[in-house]
Amino acid sequence: MAEGRLTEKRESGEARRRAEIRVSGPARDGGFLTTTADALVNWARKNSLWPLPMGLSCCAIEFMATAASRFDIARFGAEVARFSPRQADVMIVAGTMTYKMSHAVKRIWDQMAEPKWCIAMGACACTGGMFRSYPVCQGVDRIIPVDFFIPGCPPRPEMVLNTLMKLQEKISRERPHTDSLLRAPREEGEER
């Protein structure tokens, strides 16, 4: 029998409450789970990340190694690489992005549904790498918002897995705005 607790964490001066899932009674003896809707939605989001790999150059090979059996990205619920922006949660920009390609990356990012996150993988995606020339974009964050940067040329698969774990921690702290989902629709003229 595991008993969770309600923890309070202070971030930037204001208190944010985070509920953990609580188990009452042994689960096999007809026990039950209690939680908040926010904790349940965050748990589902963080354990089912579907990446959209933007493999622009050699870092894409390292992402493929991360998805292979030796490193097994499936342990983190991210094994379903989707090449459709409408089905993906996380865009992983892996490699050198030129200004010509940045328009396509921005268009795909805009087509992704909210909530969405971005990981810049490799030195070229983070800062342009060794390519200090006019056609190379000096960082993906100049085009789209980036949540995590993975340095290295190329970064090791362990670094990608570590970044996914940090993204899962970030997602578990977010407020998914489930209040509007649980509230009954308002009638005309009804005040908030």
pLDDT at 180: 54
Domains along the chain? Answer: 6-45 (no CATH), 49-161 (3.40.50.12280)
pLDDT at 19: 46
Please give the Cα distance from 60 to 145 (Å, whole number): 20
Please give the Cα distance from 97 to 146 (Å, whole number): 14
**pTM as predicted:** 0.72
CA-based nearest residue to 100, from 126, 137, 125, 133 = 137
pLDDT at 2: 39
What are the pLDDT digits (tens) for 119-165?
A: 999 888 888 878 888 888 888 999 999 999 998 888 888 888 899 88
Of 5-14, 31-40, 110-119, 182-191, minimum mean pLDDT range: 5-14
pLDDT confidence band for 12 (50 / 70 / 90): very low
- Give me the helix-helix angle, 59-67 and 157-173, nearest 10°: 70
Sequence-distant (≥ 6) Cβ neighbours of residue 144 within 8 angstroms = 91, 93, 105, 106, 109, 118
pLDDT at 149: 92
